[in-house]
Structure 1
């Protein structure tokens, strides 16, 4: 990919490892490694996270975030920014909060071999789905 044909949306869609930046209560950034899924067509980025973690608390207080990904060779990067909605945690394995995590998994990885186990784990782990409405994307490819 040449510098003139670089598409940061494509890199976001291909990447399964990124760094999520949220805002701490003192205004400093909180950086967390995450496993994102970017639905380019919908302009939405998803991350599964755990209730009680710093990033989740930060997003409940200030629902803005940025996510940065890099290419495997480290020579390209892309950043997505936007407002965030959190869904969950859920207490019912068949409830809407867990169903949102099931849909996220299907988008990101396809069918799970044991949905009942996945649903139970999402409840016991107190998982939360972050949905970012991406409103700004930028990045570049070096050299």
Structure 2
């Protein structure tokens, strides 16, 4: 009997916490803990972030990024690399930018108890939806 090969996308699909690596203006990586939602069918990872933060500024300058995920026991890891698209922020709670954040929320958590409140908070917080189109995935399991 042989073990099935390790599929790093399975860990990505099962994880919500990761470390986002973006590229600072001096070329060094900038690391940020993030909450991620993986859309396996589209092979995209979504992250809600705030305008004005270092990671957002870095991605506006250079859209290349990587996200690393680690299993709870620390013995498996997966890294997804790709190019990012940023959507938002906006001042319109009913605009397409907030609609994208609603879809992100639904994909990760289902229905919100008060969509009007959610939309208002996304505008007030100047939220931006990051979508990473996965172009390369790698990882390993040590057990």
Task: Output one character per residue of 1:28-52: Cα deviation in whole Å (capped at 9) or x when no partner.
Answer: 0000000001111111110000000
> Aligned pair 1:24/2:24, yes or no?
yes
Q: Residue 71 of structure 1 aligns with which residue?
A: 71
Corresponding residue of 2:5? 5
Structure 2 distance, partners of 1:3, 1:78, is: 18
Q: Deviations over 1:48-96 (max 9, x none)?
A: 0000000000000000000000011111000000000000001111001
Tell me what 1:88 maps to. 88
Match of 1:5, SS state, is: coil
Q: How many residues align?
A: 142
Matched-pair contact (CA < 8 Å) for 1:3–1:141: no
Alignment-derived partner of residue 126 in structure 1: 126
TM-score (norm 2): 0.96
| Offset, 1:4 | 4.8
Distance 1:137 1:37 in 2: 16
Q: Secondary structure at the match of 2:11?
A: helix
With normalisation by structure 1, the TM-score equals: 0.96
Which 5+ residue runs of structure 2 have no aligned equivalent? none
1:103 alignment partner, SS class:
helix
